[in-house]
Amino acid sequence: MTRVYGTGAYDFKRHHVAEYPVDLSHQLGDKPVEAKPGAALPSSITLSEIQRDQLTVIASANWSRVGDAKDKKPAFDPELVKRIYETELRVKEGQRKTVPLQRVMILEVSQYLENYLFPNFDAESATFEHVMSMILMVNEKFRENVAAWVCFYDRKDAFKGFLGRVLRLKSERELSIAEKTNYLVFMINAFQSLEDEIVSETVLRLASFQSWHSLSYGRFQMELGLNSDLIKKWRRMVKREAAKHGESFDPSTALEVQFLRNLIEEFLEILDSKVLLPNHGVNGEDQLLDVNGMEHVDDACVLYCERFVELLIDLLSQLPTRRYLRPLVADVAVVPKCHLSALYRHEKGKLFTQLVDLLQFYEGFEINDNVGKQLTDDEVLQSHYDRVQSFQLLAFKKIPKLKELALANIGSIDNRNDLTKRLSVLSPEELKDLVCSKLKLISKNDPWSSRVDFLTEVMVSFFKRQQSQKEKINALPLYPNELIMWDESLVPSINYSGEGCLALPKLNLQFLTLHDYLLRNFDLFRLESTYEIREDIQEAVPHLNACINNEGETAFRGWSRMAVPIKEYKISEVKQPNIGEVKPAAVTAEITFSISSYKAQVRSEWNALKEHDVLFLLSIRPSFEPLSAEEGAKASVPQKLGLQYVRGCEIIEVHDEEGTLMNDFTGRIKRDEWKPPKGELRTLTVALDTAQYYMDVSNTAAKGAEDVYGTFNILMRRKPKENNFKAILESIRDLMNEYCIVPDWLHKTFLGYGNPSAAQWTNMPDLLETVDFKDTFLDAEHLRECFPDYQVFFVSPDGTENMDPKPPFRVRLPKTIKSSTNALPGNKKAKMSSMSDIPIEDSDKEKEKFVVEAYTPPDPGPYPQDQPRQNSVRFTPTQVGAILSGIQPGLTMVVGPPGTGKTDTAVQILNVLYHNCPSQRTLIITHSNQALNDLFEKIMQRDVPARYLLRLGQGEQELATDLDFSRQGRVNAMLVRRLELLSEVERLARSLQLPEDVGYTCETAGYFWLLHVYSRWEQFLAACNENKNKQSFVKDRFPFKEFFSDSPKPVFTGESFEKDMRAAKGCFRHLKTVFQELEECRAFELLKSTADRANYLMTKQAKIVAMTCTHAALKRKDFLQLGFKYDNLLMEESAQILEIETFIPMLLQRQEDGYARLKRCILIGDHHQLPPVVKNMAFQKYSHMDQSLFTRFVRLGIPYIELNAQGRARPRIAQLYNWRYRELGDLPCVNQDAIFNKANSGFSFEYQLVDVPDYHDRGESAPSPWFYQNEGEAEYVVSVYIYMRLLGYPANKISILTTYNGQKLLIRDVINRRCAPYDFIGPPSKVTTVDKFQGQQNDFILLSLVRTRFVGHLRDVRRLIVAMSRARLGLYVFCRRSLFEQCYELQPTFQLLLQRPDRLALNFNETTPHTERHVEETGPVHLVSSVDEMISIYQQLYAVKFHQYVAPSIQQASMSGQDPMDADIPVSADGVPDDTLHVSNSELEDNGRKVDSSVENHSNGVTEMETSMDNAHVVPESNSDQVRMEE
């Protein structure tokens, strides 16, 4: 049976890699650099300089296994490790960095950890420097987001020993601040890797129940008093400890007990005494400088404090560590102490302040820590009231001075000011007694316990009423403003290097509650969209060229496509607040602008603005005089742009100059009344953000600040596809305000807790005991292949054995099949969680019987359109397992490696599901329109009626089908079908000699069915029961014989009663379908408006509704209003969809009686390929925002089915990536089909790595950051493409891929110069990036890897897998061998590539695109030595192929070294040169006259061609600074 996998040690690896920027200020001259110990490595060094670097030389001599360095190495030397650590890996005290980043990068790339540190690690004898070096290497792997723990799995005991040493490291010697910070970063990374069993076993002990031994007595009593169950648990634990260690053992001395407490106390000491350094004043006393005394802040200590608060946030934001750690954090009063620290108020402590606020939020999070249940707003409020009331009671009884507080109402004492004021009546001793002895909030021994401000802060923190999450998020503006946009700690610029921390939430494995999940996603999505909006503003505003005119007002001398000056702006209405709110219910404004200065194309874009589009209002006020160079260097981006304010708004209406409504989709303007817009002025009515408006107005009133809304002078729009953030944020906010229900069966799994396989179908109630597989199996043998563990027993519908079974088959599931699909053996998590699993039968035991019913489907009807469409795919056993799991209730996860038929499997799940549960509705979600259309086109070819299919969104226009599956298209189809069916009813009435008016409406047709059709059929059946012995009875007496007289074949033979009776039932089934369809059309007859009909179709009629995840998020509110319902969710490409965009489609319907209707969730994707696109590197790397729900589920160990047979690529090409998957084999077709067995003509190998040396003394170059180009690879790739075209390879079968946008544009430039002008070459099918080509394929792929200094973002193994798996027949990789062969993560692929020559191997004996040579034969091999040789090869090939075509002047040009491609050769429709290309030389001579005449006809000016080729070897300029690299 199908194997279902969970997470094993090698299954999920962290591999979100990115390239990090380096200091561009250091530019090298021509001389090579000899790096000094500890020196930073300049960014512009070449690979040869890296190879001459001291560290590289040491690596080569001691541990490197690459190239020439594979000889015997000297024995391990601990002194070498110590020397490297002391000289290369330490930084000076006080710097805001913990390691010399580029020295660490060189060591990490040289595999220092994998080849030297860990193989020689011994937990007992390893030195301090050895352990610290390993910590730094692991941290660097996390910073670069590559698999950090994988290299440890070969020696698991040593790995455990290493982690143990790390925990004891601080007791070995005093660490410097930088070392302490590195240590913290390691702990952060470890606590973020709880899916790794060895790591989690070690680190979770630190946050276990044992840690409560370190609590103060008062806090300990308080926590146990709150939960009686904990008392029993504590007693059991103490007994176990006593039994294990003996009675005399003091548990409070254990490492697990003291570890986190010691860390916290160390942090508080540094925060209090080392962050701000004292300045010796004139009078000799130590005094702190004021806030501007920047030089007296220790940056290293600030970074340490930020990192420590980050660690605490991580620990409090996941339940396994939060449960027992939160009392410890409260006991030491971390948050109040941070609030009172000097750093919290210092301007250098801005990030620290934001982190402390986030820590405070998570410390008071609304959750019951012990049971993990989310607290409702009422429960939180009641808990607050109980706490304050008990304090008032205590004050009334024991503290006479606080009697006034004791008798006050709660609302007057639960805020900071009132509580502080009322506590001020107590003396310091009384306050200490209250806090430490009576309330026991902190220990008497706390060093801060004598500070009055601290004691007051503790009281305020404990008794102040906290604002609820809902209130906070509802008060938050959805549009970003200028303060958030340029706050680097919230929205970092693109060059975030991964060294520091940020005030951002993280998306890791687990979430506290659904509210926590939504809140983190809301924050990150909002900030990611803020980053994109900021980029758009920075792009648009400079084009306006703002200045101050003579009147002292802002004027604009330039113009921008996306931004226009405002002529007039006024706020037209501010509505009263709703009850219980302070912000206005609505704020509307009117904006007038002119489009007179734009050309037609841009005008049409502004005229296309419509309701719900989001715009931005900008206030620009440039400085009177331009900034000097020095000022410009210091100025922020808003200062450089003169940008004062940014506010968002949403369009309500658009009017032209005459006040006529434009772009109205509400139906107020009829189609026939529509007129083109008049004039050049446009007036918009817009809705402003009410929360932002209230904040601005309050600020103006309280502080006398400028009125923001009187200053706007620019209106900016954005591209529609990128401007849907507001709708998605509103959807998330609505979900937070609802009582948000994920189905009970999915809830715990979704949050990351409990049994990982709890949502799997084998653990679900309401299983389908019998499954009709319809056309899934092609024959009986196919079914046996798919269930090899069972003895398949075929029966007929009557229960007798069937000796000649034919599909379709109905399967009764045996009991053991429900338990045999547990997770992979060896995966501890999955083993532990297999609840009541019955062990899989041993092979030597008798196989269990598997009963399969082979039934004959009823006759569908006499017409060709009645015949069901059949599946022709021979599904593999694994695919059948996925289909079986998908049609059962619960969560199904299918990992589909490249070419394994994910779409076919998904379509068959839908097909079988429709036939087994015809009343249920299924929602299909994909990431891209392309994938949705592929899926939809295949569904249409299965036996699912077209009337039940619906495609929503913009992409339906691209469907390659004659039918229109949009809402409007389906409504029209239903109305057309209604008329067709009514005419059939009329024909039926005529055939029965009845009046034809019965076909007037669907209603009359329904009566006709009951009175005349169904009654006749019943009479006929009764008569048949009495005349079964008459062979021709059915033929003679069938009542609708005349109606079916137009069938292609005679319906009845009269030879057999049974055969005729089966045909009669088929005819009646045809009639029944006609009247059933008419009944479904009746609603469209009754509903008159198009909108009502479309909504009915979507909510009631359609059984399968498809849309993209973006459309689902945008339209959620509409779906809820219409009462949209669905039972099943199938998500394709789910590893490419953001977490939140996966979650929202699960909740597009209202709950039914408090329960979720969703029964099945089928996620299909591949977490080994590229993740969702997140443009800002910080959100991608620091917050893991690019982690999809699918990937998170895999990391959690949730069982999945991995498809294991690919049918895309040649088996040898598949070996380049199948190492990344378990047991990925090949379908028979890739071994048997001739196309896979024939070699690639003109090439010796079907795949090859081609080493490209420096071209014109240059390797990679970067005209602007991340815009990497490599001229040599671009020339080489295009030359090989031209060579292939000259051989006759079709252009549409070749794609050119690269890993960077800069290279993509450079290759396109070269192609435009070399190929596009000549029809017989032309451009290839696609020139694009690997990222953009995910999900696509082609026969031949030419791949340029670009980089020659550092590997860059190809270190992300997922990008490598995508790059290697796009080709079917030929893959040629152009790169710098010496760089990529030493990359640890890429070795499985590059070791295979390097088994072949690293120079391109060509076969000159083949000059046509067809060859009989077998793929394993190389033939005569010619190795190409360089780019220039490749260029001369295609020139010579051209001369051989077309020497008869070429005029003498062109031949002379050829001899002078120019490209002789200047004759246009006729091409066929698919871009292949016409048949003349394939003729032999003798045939060319025979047809010489004909060819000459064709040249005369086609050569329209040789001179022009010659001039275009003169510069053929000059690299074309590319518009580099306008395009950013996408990662």
* Maximum Cα–Cα distance across the chain: 127
Q: Tell me the pLDDT band of 1091, cut-offs 50, 70 and 90.
A: confident
Q: What is the pLDDT of residue 1460?
A: 40
Side-chain half-sphere of 198: how many Cα atoms within 13 Å?
A: 17
Report whether 563 contacts 540 (CB < 8 A).
yes
49, 32 contact by CB (below 8 A): yes
Among candidates 123, 151, 129, which has minimal Cα distance to 81? 129
Other C-beta atoms lying within 10 Å of the C-beta of residue 858: 10
Overall average pLDDT of the 544-567 stretch: 90
Phi and psi at 924, nearest 5°, equal -110, 130
| More confident call, 937 vs 1244 | 1244
Is pLDDT above 50 for 499?
Answer: yes
What gap in Å lies between CA 887 and CA 254, rounded to an integer? Answer: 52
pLDDT digits (tens, 9 = 90+) for 1119-1154: 999 999 999 999 999 999 999 999 999 999 988 777
Angle at 602 between CA 598 and CA 603, to 5 degrees: 70
Mean per-residue pLDDT, 1278-1284: 95
Res. 24 pLDDT band, cuts 50 70 90 = very low
The H or E element spanning position 1063 is: helix 1057-1086
Kindly report whether the peptide bond that precedes residue 74 is cis, defined as omega within 30 degrees of 0. no
Residue 926, beta-bridge partner list: 1108
Helix axes 255-273, 299-316, angle to 10 degrees: 140
Residue 936 banded pLDDT, cuts 50, 70, 90: confident
Is the torsion defined by CA of 1463, 1465, 1469, 1472 positive or negative? negative
- Burial label for 72, CB within 10 Å (0-12, 13-18, 19+), is exposed
Count of all residues that appear for the chain in the document: 1527
* pLDDT tens-digit map of 174-212: 899 999 999 999 999 999 998 888 898 888 989 888 888
Q: Is the pLDDT of residue 1462 over 50?
A: no
CB neighbour list of residue 1037: distance below 8 Å, 6 or more residues apart: 1020, 1023, 1024, 1027
Tell me what pLDDT residue 95 has: 78
Report d(CA 717, CA 591) in Å as an integer.
Answer: 13
What's the pLDDT band for 1296 if we cut at 50, 70, 90?
very high
Pairwise CA distance, residues 898 & 1337, whole Å: 9
The contacts of residue 1296 (CB under 8 Å, 6+ apart) are 1277, 1278, 1281, 1307, 1311, 1324, 1326, 1327, 1328, 1341, 1342, 1343, 1344
1470 has a pLDDT exceeding 50: no
Q: By the 8 A CB rule, do 754 and 657 touch?
A: no
336: pLDDT strictly greater than 80: yes
Rounded distance between C-alpha atoms, residue 418 and residue 106, angstroms: 58
Q: Which residue has the tokens 């893991």?
A: 1184
pLDDT digits (tens, 9 = 90+) for 270-286: 998 888 876 544 334 44
Work out the number of other CB atoms within 10 angstroms of the CB of residue 1491: 19
Task: Say if residue 9's pLDDT is above 80.
Answer: no
> What's the whole-number mean pLDDT along residues 602-616?
91
**Whether pLDDT at 142 is above 70:** yes
Q: Distance (Å, rounded) from C-alpha 205 to C-alpha 237?
A: 13
- What is the mean predicted confidence (pLDDT) over 412-437? 89
Residue 641 half-sphere exposure, CB side, CA atoms within 13 Å? 24
- For residue 424, how many other CB atoms are within 10 A of its CB? 10
Three-state SS for 444-499 is: CCCCCCCCHHHHHHHHHHHHCCCCCHHHHHHCCCCCCCHHHHCCCCCCCCCCCCCC
pLDDT at 1449 exceeding the cut of 80 = no
Looking at the predicted structure, is the pLDDT value of residue 619 above 50? yes
CB-count burial class (<10 Å; 0-12, 13-18, 19+) for 404: exposed
Higher pLDDT, 257 or 841: 257
Token pair, residue 815, equals 């009991």
Alpha carbon distance 623, 1349 (integer Å): 42
| pLDDT per residue as tens digits for the range 1172-1226 | 988 888 888 889 999 999 999 999 999 999 999 999 999 999 999 999 998 899 9
- In sequence order, the β-bridge partners of residue 1255 are 1258
Residue written as tokens 């501010």?
574
At 127, phi and psi to the nearest 5? -80, 165
- Distance, in Å, from the CA atom of 970 to the CA atom of 914, rounded to the nearest integer, reads 19
For β-strands 1326-1329 and 1294-1298, DSSP reports them as parallel
Q: Contact, 1291 vs 1323, CB < 8 A?
A: yes
As given in the structure block, the two tokens for residue 324 are 């027992």
Taking the mean position of all CA atoms in its chain, how far away is CA 1497?
54
The SS3 assignment for 1517 reads coil
* Contact present, 999 and 1005 (Cβ < 8 Å): yes
Residue 134 identity: M
For 945-992, the pLDDT digits (tens) are 888 999 888 755 555 566 777 888 888 889 999 999 999 999 999 999
Average pLDDT in the chain: 83
Q: Is the pLDDT of residue 1501 over 60?
A: no
Q: What is the DSSP letter of 297?
A: B
Distance CA 675, CA 660 (A): 9
**pLDDT band at residue 1450 using 50, 70 and 90 as cut-offs:** very low
- pLDDT, tens only, 782-829: 999 998 888 899 999 988 988 889 999 999 888 767 554 443 322 333
Q: What is the DSSP letter of 797?
A: T
For residue 20, give both structure tokens: 């990090």
Rounded Cα gap, residues 1248 and 845, in angstroms: 48
* Mean local confidence (pLDDT), 1454-1481: 38
Residue 214: CB partners within 8 Å, gap ≥ 6? 252, 257, 258, 261, 328
Q: What is the DSSP letter of 1007?
A: H
CA 1077 to CA 1073: how far, in whole Å?
6
Helices and strands, number each (H, E), in the chain: 60, 36
**Dihedral sign, Cα of residue 49, residue 52, residue 55, residue 61:** positive
HEC string of 928-980?
CHHHHHHHHHHHCCCCCCHHHEEECCHHHHHCCCCCCCCHHHHHHHHHHHHHH
- What Cα–Cα distance (Å) separates residue 645 from each residue in 101, 522, 553, 1297? 37, 23, 16, 42
**Six-digit token pair at 61?**
């001599």
Asked whether residue 18 carries a pLDDT value surpassing 80, the answer given is no
pLDDT at 958: 56
Asked whether 280 and 286 are in contact (CB, 8 A), the reply is: yes
Is 113 within 8 Å of 151 (Cβ atoms)? yes
Q: What is the pLDDT of residue 1445?
A: 46
H or E, element range at 1485:
helix 1481-1486
pLDDT of res. 279: 54
**CA 1118 and chain centroid, separation:** 25
Q: Give the pLDDT confidence of 1347-1390 residue by residue, as tens digits.
A: 998 888 888 899 999 999 999 999 999 999 988 888 888 889 99
The pLDDT of residue 913 is above 70: yes
- Determine contact, residues 687/609, Cβ cutoff 8 Å: no
Is the Cβ–Cβ distance between 756 and 1197 less than 8 Å?
yes
